[in-house]
């Protein structure tokens, strides 16, 4: 597994800090924790924004200590494992989650940045179309994927997971980049329409099943591919070097975590047109 450089977070100007009052396993829906919702709000108004605690409608102030004002920098701390939808639909600003966080982090976001210092639940960045999510720990299933019944998942932006991720990373994604520095579960890139999924660790079984286009890159160990993928050639993809340069420039990914080199190119899934590609790094280099 690679690592994410621990760049210190720099905050300019005002910030809002939300601290969970108590630990609970009861799910909380907190899509109101979003810089867009905090625009023009003072501390009191933020505390009055709605949330769901189980099926009960509450306010953020019922669940969190609210401190500060302003919309650009939001810091959320405390027990957040059961808190869902933080940063959902955000268009700008920054959210920092100081520990582990629940599902749907940054779902449908179109701009700004979310940094989770710990692990994140399922559906990180589902349907996102822009911005960046950085999860320094592990992520659950369906990172950047499409919700059930939807035809397209992630449509833009970047998700970087420092640890491992679960099943169906990038399922039906349409555009954007997902980087998992650790291992992934099965069906990474299943049904991909376009976009890129990079896996630094072990790529789970059946990657790219049903993919139409798009790119899955295995920098580490890779499974035997489905029989509907065909070997094309071994080469050094120049476009991949562009991605690696760009990622290195963010300071979030060390170059040793995703090493450049010679890759075996497989095209598929032939059941879905065969315009997708799986690149597997030649480990003999």
Partner 1 sequence: MHINGVEIEDTFAEAFGMWGSRLIVTGDDLGWARTAAEAATGFATSIIGCGCEAGTNDLASGEQTPDGRPGVAALVFTTSRKNMEAALLQRVGQAVMTCATSACYNGLAADEKVRIGGKLRYFGDGFQRSKLLDGRRLWRVPVMDGEFVVEESFGVARAVGGGNFFMMARSLSAALAAARAAVAAMRAVPGAIMPFPGGVVRSGSKISSRYKGQNVSSNTPYCPTLRGQEDSSLKEGENAVLEIVVDGLSEAAVAEAMRVGIAAACLPGVTRISAGNYGGSLGQFHFALRDLVST
Footprint on residues 147-206 left by partner 1 (CB under 8 A): 156, 175, 177, 196
- All residues at 6 or more sequence positions from 98 whose CB lies less than 8 Å from its CB, including other chains: 75, 76, 77, 117, 118
Q: What are residue 59's phi and psi, to 5 degrees?
A: -115, 165
Q: How far is the CB of 264 from partner 1 (least distance, A)?
A: 13
Stretch that binds partner 1, among 80-88, 119-127, 184-192, 243-251 (CB under 8 A): 243-251
DSSP bridge pairs for 199? 180, 218
Instruction: Look at residues 66, 26, 75 and name the one whose alpha carbon lies nearest to residue 46.
Output: 66
- Sheet with strand 83-84: strands edge to edge: 56-59, 50-53, 28-29, 83-84
235: contact with partner 1 by CB under 8 A: yes
Stretch that binds partner 1, among 1-9, 38-46, 121-129, 239-247 (CB under 8 A): 239-247
One of 38, 198, 243, 266 touching partner 1 (CB under 8 A): 243
Specify the 3-state DSSP secondary structure of 116: strand
282: contact with partner 1 by CB under 8 A: no
One of 14, 23, 221, 245 touching partner 1 (CB under 8 A): 245
- All residues at 6 or more sequence positions from 94 whose CB lies less than 8 Å from its CB, including other chains: 9, 11, 35, 72, 73, 74, 112, 113, 114, 115
DSSP H helices in 6-155: 35-38, 43-47, 60-63
Q: Are 139 and 117 in contact (CB under 8 A)?
A: no
Q: How far is the CB of 208 from partner 1 (least distance, A)?
A: 15
- Looking at the Cβ atoms of 74 and 217, the one nearer to partner 1 is 217
One of 151, 239, 256, 284 touching partner 1 (CB under 8 A): 239
285: contact with partner 1 by CB under 8 A: no
- Looking at the Cβ atoms of 67 and 260, the one nearer to partner 1 is 260
Chain residues that interact with partner 1, rule: CB under 8 A: 156, 175, 177, 196, 213, 215, 233, 235-239, 241-246, 260, 275, 277
């Amino acid at each position: 597994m690679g690592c994410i450089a621990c760049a210190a977070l720099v905050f300019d100007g005002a910030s809002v800090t939300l601290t969970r009052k108590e630990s609970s396993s009861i799910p909380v829906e907190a899509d109101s924790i979003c810089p867009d919702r905090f625009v023009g709000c003072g501390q009191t108004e933020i505390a009055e924004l709605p949330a769901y605690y189980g099926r009960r409608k509450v306010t953020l102030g019922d669940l969190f200590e609210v401190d500060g004002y302003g919309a650009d920098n939001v810091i959320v701390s405390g027990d957040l494992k059961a808190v869902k939808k933080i940063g959902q639909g955000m268009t700008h600003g920054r959210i920092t989650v100081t520990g582990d966080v629940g599902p749907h982090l940054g779902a449908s976001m179109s701009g700004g940045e979310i940094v989770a210092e710990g692990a994140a639940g399922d559906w990180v960045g589902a349907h996102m179309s822009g911005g960046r999510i950085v999860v320094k720990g592990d992520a659950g299933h369906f990172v950047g994927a499409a919700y059930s019944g939807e035809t397209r998942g992630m449509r833009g932006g970047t998700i970087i997971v420092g640890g491992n991720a679960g099943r169906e990373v990038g399922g039906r994604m349409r555009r954007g980049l997902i980087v998992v520095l650790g291992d992934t579960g099965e069906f990474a890139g299943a049904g991909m329409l376009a976009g890129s999924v990079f896996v630094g660790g072990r790529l789970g079984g059946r990657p790219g099943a049903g993919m139409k286009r798009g790119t899955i890159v295995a920098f580490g160990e890779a499974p035997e591919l489905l029989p509907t993928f065909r070997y094309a050639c071994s080469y050094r993809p120049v476009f991949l070097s562009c991605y690696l340069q760009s990622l290195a420039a963010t300071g979030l990914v060390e170059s040793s975590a995703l090493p450049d080199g010679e890759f075996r190119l497989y095209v598929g899934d032939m059941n879905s047109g065969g315009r997708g590609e799986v690149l597997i790094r030649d480990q003999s280099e």
